[in-house]
A and B are shown apart, each in its own frame.
Chain A
Amino acid sequence: MKTKKPTPYNQLSKEEFFLSGHRACQGCAEALAVRLVQKAAGRDTIVACATGCMEIVSSPFPFTSWNLPWIHVAFENTAAVASGVEAGLKALMRKGKLPQRDIKVIAMAGDGGTSDIGLQALSGALERGHNLTYVCYDNEAYMNTGIQRSSATPFGASTTTSPAGKKVPGQITWKKNMPEIAVAHQIPYVATACPSYPIDLIQKVQKAISKPGPAYIHILSVCPTGWRIPSNLAIKVGRLAVRTGIFPLYEVEDGIYRITQKTSKLLPVKEYLTIQGRFRHLTEELISQIQERVNQEYELLLKKVAMTQGEKKEE
């Protein structure tokens, strides 16, 4: 008989809240991310969900994959719906109409529902200071409607509305930096995460929900269907996004930046790009353009870390 050594993975809570039987594609790391987020948040949670892949795969009436109170209203207003849930609970508990209890409110939306059409409602919710955690599941396009580009689609990616053509090589704008937009609201907690690093993700969710006030978590969620990769590589590709510096994992706690997955030397972005169908058309020149941009942004992030951690020491 072998003995079981505890690992962070085999010690995870066995409770599931986003249950088997959902209709996400094979190897959908967005579904995995949702599963992990809800595991981390636990039972006393209410979820407000935007229209998008995760809503569609989990709620074909009269069936639901949710083992939690869950509400979907529309595409662009999840932050507002979650604000309402939070305000409602707060009022009812204060007025003695409901017993006092610590209920976490989580808002969830895709990159389109967050960085495009839902940005205004999100900004409002963050600015007003509701006690909720907003999770953006970023699969870098409007997947639910058929892989159209969003402002979170990275430079060079081919999507159905930014197709790699003879003249234009796919998406020609750089990914909108949504986590920085959240940081600019000076909320208590902002983090990036990726289900390829489940323990890091879970710790961030727990930190986010335990802090009073708004928190924002931006999760890179690999989508085998839209990124045109084999389903078994979804975790690997997410890991490469982190290790190439394309999607660094960090958190910003009360304004102080910290990189949570340090890499001594970043891998070349080429390793990440060339295994994905959506980047297959990229020339060496475009790849080096991307490399340059990633280097710059990573440098900038390191500077923010140094700067804000410096401030911390001075205090």
Chain B
Amino acid sequence: MGKRRGLEVSVGAAEAVAMADVDVIAAYPITPQTHIVEHLAELVNNGELDAEFVPVESEHSALSVCIGASAAGARTFTCTSAQGLALMNEIVYIASSMRLPIVMILANRSLSAPLSIWNDHSDAMSVRDTGWIQVFAQNGQEVFDHIFFAYRVGEDPKVSLPVMIHVDGFIVTHVIEPVEFWEKEQVERYLPPFKPISRLDPERPVTMGAFAMPQLFTETKVAQDMATTQSMEVILSAWEEIYKITSRRYRPVEAYRTEGAETIFVVQGSFGETLSVAVDELRAKGEPVGLVMPRLWRPFPFELFRSAVKGAKNLIVIDRAISFGGQGGPLAIELRSSLFGLPAPPRVINFICGLASRDVTVEDFKNIYERAVDGSKAPVFQEDFQFYGVRS
């Protein structure tokens, strides 16, 4: 294994992108994504990374540049947050439909208005159905490892899809953490050179991005959906290989102390670390509580999720985004539907909190737990969800 280095997670992410021998980087600055791009620009301008850094005039163009470069056969990288993602939204769909294995870090941030640079998952949830493979990384090491993972999975000819790595803005991107680097040879062995299925090449002219009439459109979408679902196999083996190299085990659904748990917290992203402390403390008091973290968001590991929460009576789903006028947060909605039809499904109790980085402490999670399991307060849960920690 390579050296362990203490550095800002954004810098570590950029270093991993450089180690992945990226060819084209196109990005537009937005807090809290900036440090990643700035470091890449520095590497390129210092001659430490041989890549084209395209300082585009918008996020829409950032992803468009990546599409053009990827179609030409280049390994590409972009990253953005919230407003930037919203601006590039049109192209986010197209990148996956054209099956181009672009890698993006989304430094998760609240969507305006009101404008907020702080962290939650409203941007992440806005792209749920865009056809990208999506994973949540909780800390610097996970971000670092998942850069190689993303290229390996996305570029696999059986997959050929773009991959988005969700990283909590500031909470993760801006902290200094020890990150264990990979050796150059390890990266090379793990990540073969990008060999696109089709490439823009005058020697063998292809047409990309043709329009489809209704009698073919659905077929194109089914082909895309099948590729997304079937990417699971490649994803699992890519994680298995990381385990062999680093001894770090990544799973589609991470479970923590769920043995015999009657109540299980479900959360995505960096809140998992705080929650695991809360779970430890509750367990110490004899509470049968555990924690489940769906790391893989698309394709969603339905079966694995169901078995991870099997036997639980209550699921406390922590959402960091809202579906206005809907049945709570997007994560809860997804999970509730995945449990529907099971013989004895757990009760789903949905709390929306931590919007725009509002602090949710270990104590808060213990409060949430009490509220959720305390039978006397049960009527509260006739509602689909509630906001936690809001002044009334």
Q: Which residues of A contact B (CB under 8 A)?
A: 43-46, 48, 55-56, 59-64, 66-74, 76-77, 79-92, 94-95, 97-98, 103, 120-121, 123-124, 127-128
Contacts and interface: CB of A to CB of B under 8 A. Distances in A.
18 contacts: A44-B202, A48-B68, A69-B205, A71-B200, A72-B211, A74-B91, A77-B64, A80-B60, A87-B26, A87-B54, A91-B51, A91-B52, A92-B72, A103-B202, A120-B57, A123-B57, A124-B61, A127-B57
Contacts of B202: 43-46, 68-69, 103
Contacts of A59: 207, 209-211
B10 to A, nearest CB: 23
Contacts of B216: 61-62
A128 B200 contact: no
A70 B54 contact: no
B211 A55 contact: yes
A46 to B, nearest CB: 5
Contact of A68 (B26, B205, B211): B205
A74 B64 contact: yes
A179 B98 CA distance: 32
B47 to A, nearest CB: 12
Contact of B52 (A55, A87, A97, A121): A87
A71 to B, nearest CB: 4
Contacts of B91: 73-74, 77
Interface residues of B, number: 46
B154 to A, nearest CB: 16
Given A81-B68, A84-B54, A87-B24, A74 B94 contact: yes
Contacts of A66: 205, 207
Interface of B: 23-24, 26, 50-52, 54-58, 60-62, 64-74, 76, 90-91, 94, 98, 193, 200-202, 204-213, 216, 220
A60 B23 contact: no
Please name the 8 residue pairs, one residue from A and one from B, whose CB atoms are nearest each other, closest first.
A84-B68, A88-B69, A124-B57, A88-B72, A88-B74, A80-B64, A72-B209, A84-B65
Contacts of B23: 88, 91-92, 95, 97
A64 B24 contact: no
Contacts of A68: 202, 205
B24 to A, nearest CB: 5
A86 B193 CA distance: 20
Given A88-B69, A124-B58, 13 more contacts: A60-B213, A61-B210, A61-B211, A76-B60, A82-B68, A83-B68, A85-B69, A87-B69, A88-B70, A91-B23, A97-B23, A120-B58, A121-B58
Nearest to B220: A61
B60 A84 contact: no
Nearest to B90: A74
A127 B58 CA distance: 13
Instruction: Give the residue among B54, B65, B68, B209 with the most A Cβ atoms within 10 A.
Output: B68
A88 B24 contact: yes
A48 B70 CA distance: 13
Given A85-B72, A98-B73, A80 B61 contact: yes
Instruction: Give the residue among B64, B204, B212, B216 with the most A Cβ atoms within 10 A.
Output: B64
Contacts of B65: 80-81, 83-84, 87
A240 B65 CA distance: 39
A26 B51 CA distance: 46
A77 B193 contact: no
A84 B64 contact: yes
A83 B50 CA distance: 18
Contacts of A128: 54-56
